Chains A and B, each alone.
Chain A
Amino acid sequence: MPPADGDSSVLSPLTAATDPGAQAPPVTQRAPVVCHCRQVSHETVEEAIDAGRAASLADLQRQTAACTRCFGCRFELEAMLEDRLGPGYDRTDVVTLPVEEPPPAPRRLDGLRRLLGRGPTPAPAAGPLPRRMYMPVLDGFAGHDVRTRVILFNSFDERDAGGGRRPDVSLRADLLAPDGTRLSATQVNVKPQHSAVLDTREMMPAGGLLAGLGAVKRVADAAQRGSFRPYFHLISPGGITSTHEKAAPRPSKLGTPGLRSYFWLVPVGYTRRPEHSYVFLTATQPEPLDRHELVWQPESGEEVRSPMPRLELDQSACIPLHELFPAVGRGDRGGTVRIEPNQGVPAGFMIRLDPERETWRIQHL
């Protein structure tokens, strides 16, 4: 990470890692807040659960305003509900904004809340929702020497200044485990003409990523910087391969079923050397990706189908197409692997590996 001095872009971890000597599976140290977007503390959430005001995620959203912006604390909140309520916890597999706005608490109670160490009244779930963007993180995946870094560049220049755009860009980068759990959160501020380079190893808990897999989620505030897109590198002994993030649906489209007018697909060309071929998917919508299939269809037209794992919001999977469909790995047939049905918006990436040369190729779907 570059130094956080006055001239550089600033990166500051919002969640500290565990004791570096720990051998246990990766866990993160508890951050001061559970919801980074709304700045809701653990204590506020625990109080709502213990007082019987929250038995579900939707209750917590209404009562505390937590999880009403990027939904990144969803799994942490669910774990707290499960810990404290056991079977009384009312789980949902669809995460979206609560139907009702949280009741506005009287501001005059803020002083009392501060005295009790509970911070100010939570902000209501109003205001624009952020744009979320996702990237895969491979670090030691399948035993390979591969790691990931993310790069953000603020190209703001004198011509943009006339267009009313804000010079600085501020965003948060969350590192997610494949099960959607947030492992860390890093605040990134990028000045004009500066870049932020995030070594994802510095975002990881001790022990790295289980299965060598994860995802980075960019949560950005300013709508006018919607095109401020991160690129990422997969770095291996064979070289560096790069592409950019994939965005979640625009906030205005949340709550719609995500029906697309065409299929997500992975192209499969003829190759002279066998390759490992993967599709990496992160679910980006409130509705789970469920009962989807991968369909391999070579030019000759026959279809081979394989069920896809179920993915809830922020959960990821890296699916080995060369194992499901051996012809894809052999490279002696051209065609596509498509995702059916045409419902849902995953952040998808196709990944190829030449295992002999340790050369990776990546591209977004």
Chain B
Amino acid sequence: MANPAPLSVTGWLPSYAWWPPSEEYSLTVISTPYHATVEPEAEFRFVLRGYAGSVRPVWERDLGVVPFGRELATRLDDLDLPPAPEHGGILELHSIRLDKEPARGSKFIGMWIDAQGRDGGGYLIPTIPIQGARKRLARDDLQVVPGIVASADQDSEILLLNPTDSATTGRLAVSSPDGVRAEGRPFEVGPWSAWRGSLSANVPRVRRLLEASDGVGSLAIYTGRKLLPFFALRRRGEPVSSYDHAAPIFA
């Protein structure tokens, strides 16, 4: 496979999002220099890649060179892509500034995903990096979600992206507002893979735990090392109405 922008030729690091099954969502990737700089001489190359369990991408699309003042809104539906895995894969957006190498601090340029559910709902989310962020983490084994929901008519969907070369473990622990905890079994997240599961299916008795708080609690996601965790909320039988990233514990 041609690789027009290998990591070896640029210091700019890629950022990531979920590559969802195409029958569930219609995705637009917004690639815009305006989200990276105010310098009119700036020039960028944007490359999209899809991963499904291997460091080698299953597809790659070079979106070309985009000067400051222009921007791209790329529909994945228009790219003639192979199908994503059942629970989705990893979408890599490599934003490379051509006229300048990254300085100290942030070494990635995040962009945006506007996803609309085929049956309604959807989400808006920035692409985020696995490395190269400026903020320092206090912990790389934990991220949290204040405000997950598990009740008779609502559930939460957890998504973990592992854009690294080795598998690691994950474990979900839910706390009720008054501090009572329930934990799920550890599970494995394969390399360059997405793990997806509902909260009620992965944390025993979670609905009962949160019964007294209208189904609302908080989630701790423990992982063997840093991953990219997300959560979504959905009314049972209805499409997802948000996807957002979990909160890292910053130093």
Residues of A whose CB lies within 8 Å of any CB of B are 2, 7-9, 149, 151-153, 155, 157, 159-160, 163, 191-197, 226-227, 229-233, 238-244, 260-263, 265, 267-273, 297-299, 301, 333-336, 338, 342, 350, 352, 354, 357, 359-363
Which chain A residue has the least Cβ–Cβ distance from B144? Answer: A155
Partner among B113, B114, B138 whose Cβ is within 8 Å of the Cβ of A268: B114
Give the B interface residue count (CB, 8 A). Answer: 66
- Chain B 48-92 per-residue mask, 1 if CB under 8 angstroms from chain A, else 0: 000000000000000000000111111100000000000000000
Q: Say whether B175 contacts A153, CB under 8 Å.
A: yes
Q: Say whether A195 contacts B116, CB under 8 Å.
A: no
Across-interface contacts of B197 in A (CB, < 8 A): none
Rounded to whole Å, the gap between the CB of B209 and the closest CB of chain A is 12
Rounded to whole Å, the gap between the CB of A188 and the closest CB of chain B is 12
Known: A8-B178, A271-B116. 14 other contacts (CB 8 A): A153-B218, A191-B179, A229-B247, A242-B147, A242-B231, A261-B37, A267-B124, A268-B73, A269-B28, A269-B30, A269-B114, A270-B28, A350-B124, A361-B121
Question: How far apart sit A233 and B217, CA to CA, in the bound complex (Å)?
Answer: 12
Question: How far apart sit A333 and B30, CA to CA, in the bound complex (Å)?
Answer: 12
- Chain B 29-52 per-residue mask, 1 if CB under 8 angstroms from chain A, else 0: 010101111100000000000000
Question: How far apart sit A301 and B71, CA to CA, in the bound complex (Å)?
Answer: 8
Across-interface contacts of A270 in B (CB, < 8 A): 26, 28, 73, 75, 114
Name 16 interchain pairs, CB-CB below 8 A, sorted by A.
A2-B177, A151-B218, A159-B139, A197-B213, A229-B146, A238-B120, A262-B37, A262-B38, A268-B114, A269-B113, A271-B114, A335-B30, A335-B73, A359-B241, A363-B124, A363-B126
Partner among A2, A229, A336, A363 whose Cβ is within 8 Å of the Cβ of B213: A2
Across-interface contacts of B32 in A (CB, < 8 A): 265, 267, 336
**Known contacts A2-B213, A229-B247, A262-B36; is A363 also within 8 Å of B73 by CB?**
no
Rounded to whole Å, the gap between the CB of A159 and the closest CB of chain B is 7
Across-interface contacts of A230 in B (CB, < 8 A): 146
Which chain A residue has the least Cβ–Cβ distance from B121? Answer: A359
Q: How many A-B residue pairs have CB under 8 A?
A: 209
Q: Say whether B233 contacts A241, CB under 8 Å.
A: yes
B220 interfacial contact with A, CB 8 Å: yes
Q: Say whether B73 contacts A334, CB under 8 Å.
A: yes
Across-interface contacts of B111 in A (CB, < 8 A): 267
Q: Say whether A363 contacts B123, CB under 8 Å.
A: yes
Across-interface contacts of B233 in A (CB, < 8 A): 233, 239-242
Q: Say whether B242 contacts A242, CB under 8 Å.
A: yes
Rounded to whole Å, the gap between the CB of A343 and the closest CB of chain B is 10
Question: How far apart sit A335 and B228, CA to CA, in the bound complex (Å)?
Answer: 26
Rounded to whole Å, the gap between the CB of A321 and the closest CB of chain B is 13
B122 interfacial contact with A, CB 8 Å: yes
Q: Say whether B73 contacts A361, CB under 8 Å.
A: no
Across-interface contacts of A263 in B (CB, < 8 A): 34-35, 38
Question: How far apart sit A361 and B36, CA to CA, in the bound complex (Å)?
Answer: 24
Rounded to whole Å, the gap between the CB of A304 and the closest CB of chain B is 14
Question: How far apart sit A273 and B116, CA to CA, in the bound complex (Å)?
Answer: 9
Question: How far apart sit A233 and B147, CA to CA, in the bound complex (Å)?
Answer: 8
Rounded to whole Å, the gap between the CB of B140 and the closest CB of chain A is 11
B195 interfacial contact with A, CB 8 Å: no
Rounded to whole Å, the gap between the CB of B128 and the closest CB of chain A is 12
